[in-house]
Amino acid sequence: MESIFIGLAVIIVATTFFGYLMRLLKQPLIPAYVIAGLLLGPSGLILFAPKINIPIVTKIIGAITITNNDMVSTLSVMGIALMLFIVGLEIDFKKLKTVSLISSIGGSIQIIILFVAGYLIASLLGFVPLHATYLGLVLAFSSTVVVIKLLSDKRELDTLHGRIVLGILLVEDIFAIIAISIVSTTDSASAYVLLLSLVKALLVFGVAIFAGKFIFPHMFKFAAKSSELLFLLAVAICFLFAAVFNIIGLSIIIGAFIAGVALGNLEYNIEIISRIKPLKDFFATIFFASLGLQLSIVAIKHIWLPLIIFVLFITFVKPLITQVLCSLFGYKKKVGFLSGLALSQTSEFSLIIISTGLVLGHVTPSIFGLVILLAIITMVVTTYKVQYDHELYRKFAKKLSIFEKLMPVKHGLEYIREKKHDVVLCGYNRIGSLVFTTLKKLKKEILVVDYNPEVIKRLMGKKIHCIYGDVGDIEIIERMNLKNVKMLISTVPETATNLLLIKKSKEYNPSIIVLVRASQIDDALALYDQGADYVILPHIIGGEHVSVLLEKFGKVENVVKRKVQHIMELKKHRES
């Protein structure tokens, strides 16, 4: 079936059908897209066609089997490019400052450990050095596309482990870009060619940053008058940089990512993201389907043992390495566990690296098939790990305590001068910091509890009473001295943690007022059933706040006054 339109139609109908089925079964959508691609590819329904003696069924199977792999490959690469373009748009380097050490140093150490481990395992399994090098690179990186999608769907990108994961992925992407550059130029056997490619990439990156600061703002200011023109300009810049990188011999995905970074500081970036997201979702679906389409059972029939070993390594050992590194950098066991689960898969960059190796003749079709199947399995497994990450943590929490012995800083990371506090504030995130400011104005004695060591260090520097720890830990709850506290406020988003806080705080102090946060209405009702005095639902409170403002905005001077006040509050909050 060579028609691009019909081929695309078949893929979309199949992924929609399986997606609908998985949603009915309350399962993640990514496995549905992969299954759809697998059934439509060379290892799917077509294998059973000869065994079916019904001519019309055989004809239908032949008609829906995708044979135009070039079309699928092109569309899937566009999907990855658009996803990384949006990742570049959304990256807030100021937010990543609080996890800069674990992201940069920890992420680099993890990449080196995984590469060396992958190389050694591959060598022990009998792969030649060149093949082992490629497999080491494959194991070293995690999928930005999959992880961003999963954490975004769970609204956990702005959590501590979400920021750590995003920071590590950013470092991995930089290493992957360098690896792709090296792989793409090794066929020329010239260090000069490699150096020239890297210099070209840096020059284009410099041009992108310069344009993002001095040229694009003026272009988008004019384009913003039309939403259509704004969308087209953003997409045009994405494709422009992708094309430039392709011309200089590097991946178009890198160009798209850099284009996103260049536009990330524009005041219109939120509107650009909202416009491009549907397009990105469309192509991302094709990307996941393409994984199944590219799988060839014939090519991988002799590599089942390496496949099993690599799957086990990525599923269990890779998260363990992340857990150890997080502990060494002073993060609690929960942060390390959740970060490790999110990073336990191979990357879309790994697929690009292995595809390049296949084109250059560095790897065999069987190794290419091995990496494709490895990506499918680990990405699918990760969707379930992330979906049930908090349940898994509660199951293994006690056993994970051994990792906290590796932490360089324990209970000494705190500042407490008063034995009695009016309010205990759990979580010094965006909501928590605003709550803290309001409480200080009311002259309340506040104890802040947070499990980000960088946040605690900053609070200690300001002489703010604080404790470093996971508020879901019984020992930390006991150290809050809730018997003498009038109010407990939790801004952490995890429902299970808040349920525990309500239960324990009411046990220690029946008269205590407990305010907790929830993301969903069902969770809020469950928290009320447990005994919460008030549940904060950010999106509902936002609507209520707008209603109050509208009542006050009867006069123009009130609008102006509130605007000036709000700008000052936002700037103060950004600086803190």
Answer whether residue 569 shows pLDDT above 70: no
Q: Per-residue pLDDT averaged across 351-366, rounded? A: 83
List all residues 6 or more positions away from 104 whose beta carbon is below 8 Å from its beta carbon: 167, 171
Q: Please state which of the ranges 181-190, 305-314, 423-432, 520-529 shows the lowest mean pLDDT.
A: 181-190
Answer whether residue 571 shows pLDDT above 80: no
pTM (predicted TM-score): 0.73
How much is the pLDDT for 323?
Answer: 94
The band of 1, judged by pLDDT with boundaries at 50, 70 and 90, is very low
Q: Per-residue pLDDT averaged across 361-370, rounded? A: 86
Residues of the chain with CATH 1.20.1530.20: 68-401
Tokens representing 471 are 């508020």
Superfamily of domain 414-536: NAD(P)-binding Rossmann-like Domain (3.40.50.720)
pLDDT in tens, 441-464: 888 889 999 888 778 888 888 888
Tokens representing 172 are 């991995």
Q: Which residue has the higher pLDDT, 164 or 420?
A: 164
Sign of the dihedral defined by the CA atoms of residues 18, 85, 75, 46, in that order: negative
Note the CATH number of domain 68-401.
Answer: 1.20.1530.20
The pLDDT mean for the chain works out to 82
Residues of the chain with CATH 3.40.50.720: 414-536
Tokens representing 90 are 């959304």
The band of 417, judged by pLDDT with boundaries at 50, 70 and 90, is low
Highest mean pLDDT among 152-156, 194-198, 533-537: 533-537
Say how many CA atoms lie within 13 Å of 479 toward its Cβ. Answer: 21
Q: What is the Cα–Cα distance from 188 to 211, expressed in whole angstroms?
A: 32
% of the chain surpassing 90 pLDDT: 20
DSSP string, 325-364: HHHHTT--HHHHHHHHHHT-S--HHHHHHHHHHHHHTSS-
Cα–Cα distance list, 170 to 87, 96, 258 (Å): 9, 10, 12
pLDDT in tens, 204-250: 888 888 988 889 988 988 888 888 888 899 999 999 999 988 888 77
List all residues 6 or more positions away from 93 whose beta carbon is below 8 Å from its beta carbon: none
Q: Per-residue pLDDT averaged across 327-355, rounded? A: 88
Closest CA to 445 of 473, 423, 461, 475: 423
DSSP type of residue 92: -
User: 3-class DSSP state for residue 513?
Assistant: strand
List all residues 6 or more positions away from 477 whose beta carbon is below 8 Å from its beta carbon: 471, 500, 501, 504, 505
Q: What is the Cα–Cα distance from 473 to 116, expressed in whole angstroms?
A: 36
The band of 324, judged by pLDDT with boundaries at 50, 70 and 90, is very high
Q: What is the Cα–Cα distance from 142 to 229, expressed in whole angstroms?
A: 35
In degrees to the nearest 10, what's the CA dihedral of 22, 26, 31, 34? 20
